[in-house]
Amino acid sequence: MKLVFLCLLFTSFFGYSQTAMSFEEAKQKGISPEVDKVYKGALGDDGVFKTEEEQQKHIQAYQDFLKGLGVYLESHNFKWDAVTKGFNRIYMRPDGTIDYFLYAFKDLSKDKEKKFRKLLGEYIKSHKFGITAPVKFAQCSPVTYSKTL
């Protein structure tokens, strides 16, 4: 029984690789919170990045990745109509390839969320996270997108 569960878990994780979706959808598809058993947290007591230098490089890579996403969205005519708050968790392979980018927003219209998801999906397929690790790892945080002028 345990082997069947692990096979299903393995299949479901690799069936959705390089996917952008809401936390709600990930939960419905059985991806979240199960995926947290496979990917190690980037920071913290048990985190992948242990030293101050490694942590600073990771934080810089994370900030650069999100800035790059912002540039990508804007270059594809995606505009934030107002300051938009959300939360994301990104799951990465050791080489920095994004497997999952899960997100949640407060007060985002369905149409805006649909366009965001499409562009985010394109972005994560063409951009890697700017740091590597010895194991699969994840990073999460609240995020605030500024109104596009």
Kindly state the DSSP code that residue 79 receives in the 8-state scheme: -
Q: What is the pTM of this model?
A: 0.86
Q: Looking at residue 10, what is its pLDDT?
A: 42
Q: Looking at residue 148, what is its pLDDT?
A: 87
Q: Which of 90, 69, 105, 87 lies closest to 142 in space, CA to CA?
A: 87
Q: Looking at residue 9, what is its pLDDT?
A: 43
Residue 49, number of CB atoms within 10 A of its CB: 21
Q: Looking at residue 107, what is its pLDDT?
A: 85
Q: Looking at residue 46, what is its pLDDT?
A: 86
Per-residue pLDDT tens, the chain, 149 aa: give them. Answer: 443 333 344 434 444 479 999 999 999 999 988 898 999 989 988 899 999 999 999 999 999 999 999 999 999 999 999 999 999 999 999 999 999 999 999 889 999 999 999 999 999 999 999 999 999 999 999 999 999 88
How does strand 19-22 pair with strand 40-41? unpaired
Q: Looking at residue 7, what is its pLDDT?
A: 39
